Structure 1
């Protein structure tokens, strides 16, 4: 039998807010269902392998109803101020990777430029260690990042049929 993959998801709420018209209480469930149905060797927190989801952003800017939904559906949250989310994302992903050796999958939902991740060789080090990296953007870049095994868009269609639209490279 194949080994299950640990999966960590980091959601940058500042650059990828809740899609308009989507039930904010269904975001986590939609992502979990999509991962279970469309990505091989994934298990949710109720399965055999830990499934971690973190929502990072300036929590003072998140509408109260959105924040309530995030907190009530089991996301880990972290408050960051302007300009610090990329470094916080990298630190959190690094700490997670230290506790979840491959095979494992890192999913980053963020519209931040990839320069900081590339210049620091952060994703390169994860790839060398054999982590799978999936990137989600509000708008797909013209050129998919070399480090990502898959790229996708973060919008209402993502959350309703989530990873069925993976654009595999």
Structure 2
């Protein structure tokens, strides 16, 4: 018997102007056979914002979708609900927090500016003991992969809802246990996959299994990857926009490496190392979300020492996404990878800008 009561839990401010949007989103999810919790009784509380949060319902929902609207932060119950959602997503890779930005920007939420600054001016008086935790929660949630109404569909709510509904449905069908990490750097145009560029390349780097050698800076690795790509003559690798994401427990990464990533146009995705296989699940989720939002000819580069990604890469290749798998020379490959016509490069060669292909006949 499944532990889940709902596929998706919607956290939103019921007294805000997003209520009609949420109703339409709920119906869109329902049309895609996604069992969704829409509970008006806990939707940001009453006028005083003091409605009790139903934590048991949240705990029994797999995808925890937070609808950030203009007045979301003004509700104490919304803020407490958000803290609970983030606690769950940090404690177990089975939960996934997904932000949806409705007529607010990720920066507004992350930095608590505009109406969010006004809300916190009031919280500083009435809820001072919780303000620090709430600010941190907003900054963290705004850095997850999600959907932004104004930047992704030019404000079209109908298309926005269709994208979200189909995206969630695809996540369930492709990899139901995926989990995304926390993004701690990058502006909106980079950390949130854009749909507007015709030829994009997203690079996903597992820094735990493909470490940075001593004396090599993140900027050098980034530049050498670009150099490798520029030497490729096939049109599929001539990307007009390249975004790179590094996954690691950045709380335990040296300040030099963290600063090097921030200065090298590399988005840092924080994943705690005390949760089993959270990096792999974070990368899986982000790759699938990227592929859903960016149809071919958008391409993907995965840098990882985990050969279990082969099945996912093969599926992406079958969907006509050009794929490069960068692995350490010590890691064997599944035989299926050789049949997938996926480009495979050696990590140590890529570090030095050479991009040499590994032996496809090598097995595990």
Distance 1:39 1:53, change over 3 A: farther
Whichever structure has more helix as a proportion of its residues is 2
3-state secondary structure, aligned to 1:162? coil
Q: From the superposition, tell whether residues 34 and 109 of structure 1 become closer, same or farther in structure 2 (CA, over 3 Å).
A: same
Q: Give 1:158 shift.
A: 2.1
Corresponding residue SS for 2:329:
coil
User: Number of residues paired by the alignment?
Assistant: 156
The residue number in structure 2 matching 1:91 is: 285
Question: How far does the alpha carbon of each residue in 1:39-74 deviate from its partner, in whole angstroms, 9 at most, with x for none?
Answer: 532345xxxx22111111111121110110011111
Among candidates 343, 346, 359, match of residue 150 of structure 1: 343
> Which of the pair has the greater relative contact order for Cα pairs under 8 Å at 6+ separation?
1
Distance 1:95 1:26, change over 3 A: same
**1:38–1:78 Cα change, 3 Å:** same
Change (3 A) 1:27 1:124: closer
What secondary structure is seen at the aligned counterpart in 1 of 2:228?
A: helix
| Pair 148,57 (structure 1): closer, same or farther in 2 beyond 3 Å | farther
Bigger strand share: 1
Q: What TM-score does the superposition give when structure 1 sets the normalisation length?
A: 0.79
From 69, 72, 85, the equivalent of 2:263 is 72
TM-fit CA distance, 1:86: 0.6
> 1:92 and 1:143, CA in 2 relative to 1: closer, same or farther beyond 3 A?
closer
**Cα displacement (A) at 1:131:** 1.2
* Between 141-150 and 57-66, the greater mean CA deviation after superposition: 141-150
Change (3 A) 1:5 1:37: farther
Q: Which one has the largest radius of gyration?
A: 2
Aligned equivalents of 1:138, 1:73: Cα separation in 2: 22
**Are 1:20 and 2:214 matched, yes or no?**
yes
Aligned partner of 2:294 in structure 1 is 100
Unaligned runs of 5+ in 2: 1-197
Residue segments in structure 1 that go unaligned for 5+ positions in a row: none
Dislocated runs of 4+, deviation >6 Å: none
Query: In the alignment, is residue 55 of structure 1 matched against residue 246 of structure 2?
Result: yes
Query: Displacement of 1:98 after TM fit?
Result: 1.7
User: TM-score if structure 2 supplies the norm length?
Assistant: 0.39
Question: Is the aligned partner of 1:160 residue 2:352?
Answer: yes
Please provide the CA RMSD for this pair: 2.3
Corresponding residue for 1:111?
305
Aligned to 1:15, the other structure's residue is in SS state coil
